Amino acid sequence: MPSIPSTLSTLSTLSTLSTLSTLSTLSTLSTPSTLSTPPTTKQYTQRT
């Protein structure tokens, strides 16, 4: 039954990829929001 191991490996790979992509998306979304907000306010205060 070679189909069962391949299916299991595919499922585990997909779950690992989806978890990694979700984590990277979350970190990418949270990091710029925390990093970019102070510089924009500083730029706005400098402009005005």
Q: What is the pLDDT of residue 43?
A: 58
Per residue in 1-48, pLDDT (tens digit) is 567 778 888 888 888 888 888 888 877 766 655 555 555 555 555 555
pLDDT in the model for residue 40: 54
State residue 41 phi and psi, 5-degree precision: -70, -35
Q: Measured between alpha carbons, how far is 30 from 36 in angstroms, rounded to an integer?
A: 10
Residue 18: per-residue pLDDT: 87
pLDDT at 45: 57
Q: How many angstroms from the chain centroid is the CA of residue 22?
A: 5
Global pTM? 0.42
Q: Which two tokens stand for residue 44?
A: 């706005």
Rounded Cα–Cα distance for residues 11 and 42 (Å): 47
